[in-house]
Amino acid sequence: MDAAQVDDIPVLVARSSGTGFGGRLTLWMHFLGGSKEAVVPFLSRLAEAGVTALSFDAWQHGQRTDEPVDQRMARAFGQFRLHVWPILRHTTLDAVRVLDWAVERFKPDELVAGGVSMGGDVSIALAGIDERVSRIAAMIATPDWTRPKMTLLDDPETVIEQGEPSPYGQWMFDHLNPMTHLDSFARGPAITFELAGDDLHISGENAVAFKAALAANHPAAAAQVHIRTHPGLDHLAAGRDQGVQDACFDWLVG
């Protein structure tokens, strides 16, 4: 596992000893409150399959903050739109910058991406603005930054009051939210949503609504969107489930 710095963005890269230039390069992003180190096992698995795999610390995460994780999570879910929409925007644009660097360094033939929860949200938004990305694995993630019906992770009966964004955050939402930029997906990137059947934190209805809305104007693109629900799992259990991880891995390497 190699560490790198792209501008102010700390990056980890996993490559097997036999991996040369070219081939497939995969960006895999971590969840809200996580870091690039949290996804090292998945990066290593991709590298063992001959894929160049990388991740980086999302904005205000990992090496890019001194804020304790519990404080960051309390802030995020206390005023979700105020605090998380900027994280989504900055991290999505950082992903484009990291891919610029990776393309120059590794000369890949294909770029794919994915991630867990917030990391999946970022990967979907990335596909909407970077046409180099051909395939996305969105694990327990949503294409709608408003996250309708989002509930507390530790209290699935309580719907989160998301608050209001700042003008700064609203501008970011207005320019990058996938659900309200369907034309950005008209080219038809291949997307799989790997969802949890009992997930009340991020509802699977969001992905279903995205595919239906895309089908209204871009049916060929909608045909490239696949939704698979894994029964009996809530959000946190799905994030740890080997079967859900396997489905994302197979999609990215296949």
Q: Give the separation between CA 188 and CA 97, rounded to whole angstroms.
A: 22
Please report, for the chain, the start and end positions of each structural domain, with discontinuous segments joined by +: 2-253
Average pLDDT over the chain reads 95
Please tell me the predicted confidence (pLDDT) of residue 96. Answer: 98
Q: Report the DSSP pairing between strands 155-159 and 133-139.
A: unpaired
CA of residue 95 relative to chain centroid, distance: 10
Rounded to a whole number of angstroms, the CA Rg of the chain reads: 17
Closest CA to 119 of 151, 96, 141, 143: 141
Superfamily of domain 2-253, CATH level 4:
Alpha/Beta hydrolase fold, catalytic domain (3.40.50.1820)
* Percent of the chain scoring above 90 in pLDDT: 94
pLDDT digits (tens, 9 = 90+) for 195-214: 999 999 999 999 999 999 99
Q: Give the separation between CA 231 and CA 106, rounded to whole angstroms.
A: 39
Angle at 124 between CA 212 and CA 53, to 5 degrees: 140
pLDDT digits (tens, 9 = 90+) for 78-97: 999 999 999 999 999 999 99
In this structure, the dihedral spanned by the alpha carbons of residues 245, 246, 251 and 254, taken in order and rounded to 10 degrees, is 140
Please tell me the predicted confidence (pLDDT) of residue 189. Answer: 98
Q: Report the DSSP pairing between strands 155-159 and 190-196.
A: unpaired
CA of residue 2 relative to chain centroid, distance: 22
Q: Give the separation between CA 50 and CA 20, rounded to whole angstroms.
A: 9
Residue 240 has pLDDT above 70, yes or no: yes
Please tell me the predicted confidence (pLDDT) of residue 121. Answer: 98
The mean per-residue pLDDT over the stretch 152-171 comes to: 93
The mean per-residue pLDDT over the stretch 58-79 comes to: 95
Please report the beta strands in 15-95, taking only residues with DSSP state E, as ranges in sequence order: 24-29, 52-56
Q: Is 40 helix (H, G, I), strand (E, B) or coil?
A: helix
Confidence tier at 70 by pLDDT (50, 70, 90): very high
State both tokens at 112: 């794919």
Closest CA to 122 of 138, 111, 108, 135: 138
Residue 251 has pLDDT above 90, yes or no: yes
* Percent of the chain scoring above 70 in pLDDT: 98
Spatial CB neighbours of 141, under 8 Å, sequence gap ≥ 6: 115, 116, 117, 118, 119, 120, 121, 123, 124, 193, 202
Contact of 17 with 33, CB cutoff 8 Å = no
The mean per-residue pLDDT over the stretch 46-72 comes to: 96
Q: Give the separation between CA 179 and CA 142, rounded to whole angstroms.
A: 9
Please tell me the predicted confidence (pLDDT) of residue 20. Answer: 65
Say which range, 40-49, 123-132, 155-164, 238-247, has the weakest mean pLDDT.
155-164
Residue 227 has pLDDT above 90, yes or no: yes
